[in-house]
Amino acid sequence: MKILVIGSGGREHALSDAFVRSSAVETVYVAPGNDGIAASDGPVEAVAIEADDIDGLLAFAQEHAVDWTFVGSEAPLALGVVDTFRQHGLTIIGPTKQAAQLETSKRFAKEVMAEAGVLTASYRTFDANQLAEAQAYVRQLTPPIVIKENGLAAGKGVSIVASNAEAENVLANVLSEAESQVIIEDYLEGPEFSHFSLVSGDQIIPLGVSRDYKRACDDDQGLNTGGMGAVTPVTAYDEELSQQIVDEIVLPVAHEMVRRGQPYTGILYTGVMQTEDGFAVIEFNARFGDPETQVLLPSLTTDFVSILEAHLSGEEIVVERDEQVRVGVVLAAKGYPQSYDRGFVLNLPPLPAELTIHWAGVKEENGQWQANSGRIAMISAAGITVAEARQQIDRYLETINNNQLHYRRDIAQELIEDEQ
Ligand code: AMP
Ligand code: GLY
């Protein structure tokens, strides 16, 4: 088979690895991919077409007789890549533009959840012309106050502020843009999980649970990022946890999408918090998580192509995973998610055999590997315990001598403490 993966990050690197592991796959094209993906083992080619160039992607898939296209990132979904490919009779894994609104419109997601009877934080929305009302509203709330920009924000559009005055400032900032819209929602507390399933109408194939670490700095300090590390499994009972999330959230939402005549297809990422009142949805994404995918996919022992075949045909499949724990730490450019340098030389020591690297913002120039974005790579390891996996990573991180890189030193620390 020939596979086309759309996207350019570590998630797409993990996807291309998963396809390469399948004996059914002859070539994996990644558009646009990155220089690290292009240099990885196996029949992988990076193709210089941007993820939002829908016409370019379509022409490429047709010319190269691509069998399946897998959408890694959200931007092409919002542009209707799935609709376009299907109109041309091509097989593509992902939701239509309308169904992808579960991610692209928080307001849409809230409406679907209300109809489906799924627990989520209560909320109010305000448009750009309602700044004064929004500010009056937050003045009478008890902090912490959660303010979310509506629309795609790569996980960075959420502010959780500790004072009413700060909330008013955030609103003034966000609502200063025409057409902008915010959601102000109740603050929830509890452990967080990222749950992944493949959904096709009413068919759900659960793929597992992971956790990502969104704040830039240790002890969950600093700004929200796209994700600075990940771990899977997250509990000793992830399978039961996954089943509960499917029963209480994924299935009712899938039913509601069918009822609306907008059946969901593709990966559904359910971000949940286990609150005192039960599992509450924090967000949906219409794609895999980055960096969760980099630890989740290597854990699956069922062939990824077989899983997708079951998804496309509606046949039953039980997805198996190995007994190992996987932890990953993201290497970022210092300053991310705000301003940071690009183009500095990485100088990473050679990677020991027990570690895996998934490349994101990286560029090769004159034989040197350089930073090319905020998140540069993720280093991951497998172990019988979380502590063992983290030790392997820590040993490597200690050998890195580059003060332009930033990474967290406490990824999965709470799970290590539970093990002791
Ligand atoms: P989101 O982009 O919606 O996933 O939000 C990013 C992060 O902000 C989440 O992973 C949570 O840690 C936090 N967050 C979002 N919404 C809430 C909420 N209602 N209450 C508490 N924390 C939240
Ligand atoms: N890791 C969070 C996301 O992919 O949105």
Q: Which ligand is nearest to the CA of 229?
A: 2
Across the chain, which has 420 residues, the per-10-residue mean pLDDT values are 98 98 98 97 96 98 98 97 98 98 92 97 93 96 91 68 95 89 93 97 98 96 93 96 98 98 98 96 97 98 98 97 97 96 96 98 95 98 98 98 98 95
Q: What is the pTM of this model?
A: 0.95
CA of 47 to the centre of ligand 1 (A): 35
- pLDDT score, position 152: 64
What residue owns the CA closest to ligand 2's atom 3?
Answer: 289
* 285 Cα nearest atom in ligand 2: 5
Q: Is 9 in the pocket of ligand 2 (CB under 6 A)?
A: no
Rounded CA-CA distance 50/284 in Å is 24
- pLDDT score, position 150: 80
- pLDDT score, position 156: 52
CA of 226 to the centre of ligand 2 (A): 6
CA of 53 to the centre of ligand 1 (A): 31
Q: Is 227 in the pocket of ligand 2 (CB under 6 A)?
A: yes
* 148 Cα nearest atom in ligand 1: 3
Residues with CB under 6 A from ligand 1: 121, 146, 148, 155, 158, 160, 185-188, 192, 214, 224, 271, 282-283
Ligand 1 pocket: which of 282, 284, 285, 290 to mutate (most atoms <8 Å of CB)? 282
- pLDDT score, position 347: 95
Q: Which ligand is nearest to the CA of 328?
A: 2
* 121 Cα nearest atom in ligand 1: 19
Q: Is 212 in the pocket of ligand 2 (CB under 6 A)?
A: yes
Q: Which ligand is nearest to the CA of 190?
A: 1
Q: Is 229 in the pocket of ligand 2 (CB under 6 A)?
A: no
69: Cα separation from own chain's centroid: 18
